[in-house]
Amino acid sequence: MNYLHACLLGLIQGLTEFLPVSSSGHLAITQHFLPGFEQPGLFFDVLLHAATTLAVIIYFRADIWNLLSCYFHHDEAAQKDRHILHMLILGSIPTAIIGLTGKDFFTGLFDNLLVIGCMLIVTASFLTLAEKIRRTNGRPLSKINPTDTILVGIVQGFAIIPGISRSGSTIACLLLRGIDGEAAAKFSFLLALPAVGGAMLLSLKDLQHVTAAAIPAYSLGALIAFLSGLFAIRCLMNVVRRKRLIGFAIYCVLVGSGIISYSLLS
CA distance 118 to 239: 25
- Tell me the whole-structure pTM to 2 decimals: 0.87
CA distance 114 to 202: 27
* Residue 87 exposure: Cα atoms within 13 Å on the Cβ side: 24
pLDDT > 80? residue 65: yes
178-214 pLDDT per residue, tens? 999 889 999 999 998 887 777 667 666 666 666 667 7
pLDDT > 60? residue 40: no
227-252 pLDDT per residue, tens? 999 999 999 998 888 778 899 999 99
Q: Which residue has the higher pLDDT, 27 or 163?
A: 163
pLDDT (mean) for 117-124: 96
